[in-house]
Amino acid sequence: MSDLLAIDALRAGYGEAVVLPSMSLTLGEGQVLALLGRNGTGKTTLINSIVGITRRFGGTVALGGRDITAMRPDQRARAGIGWVPQERNIFRSLTVEENMTAVAQPGPWTVDKVYEMFPRLKERRGNFGNQLSGGEQQMLAIGRALTLNPKVLLLDEPTEGLAPIIVEELLKALGTITRSGGICSIIVEQNAQKILGLADRVVILERGAIVHDAASHALKADPAVLERYLGVAGAAAH
**pLDDT per residue as tens digits for the range 91-110:** 999 999 999 999 999 999 99
Global pTM value: 0.93
- Give a yes or no: residue 152 inside a domain: yes
pLDDT 10s digits, 1-54: 578 999 999 999 999 999 999 999 999 988 999 999 999 999 999 999 999 999
Distance in angstroms (rounded) separating the CA atoms of residues 10 and 80: 19
What CATH code is carried by the domain that includes residue 165? 3.40.50.300
The residues, ordered by sequence, that sit 6+ positions from 208 with a Cβ below 8 Å of its Cβ are: 18, 19, 20, 21, 23, 41, 42, 45
Among 158, 87, 162, 167, residue whose Cα is nearest residue 129: 87
- Give a yes or no: residue 235 inside a domain: no
The 3-state DSSP class for residue 85 equals: coil
Which residue segment(s) compose the domain that 174 sits in?
3-215+222-230
- Give a yes or no: residue 138 inside a domain: yes
- Give a yes or no: residue 144 inside a domain: yes
- Give a yes or no: residue 238 inside a domain: no
The residues, ordered by sequence, that sit 6+ positions from 41 with a Cβ below 8 Å of its Cβ are: 205, 206, 207, 208
* Rounded mean pLDDT, 157-162: 91
pLDDT 10s digits, 160-198: 989 899 988 898 898 888 877 779 999 998 778 888 889
Q: What's the number of domains the chain is made of?
A: 1
Rama region for 107: left / alpha / beta (φ>0; ψ in -120 to 50; rest)? left
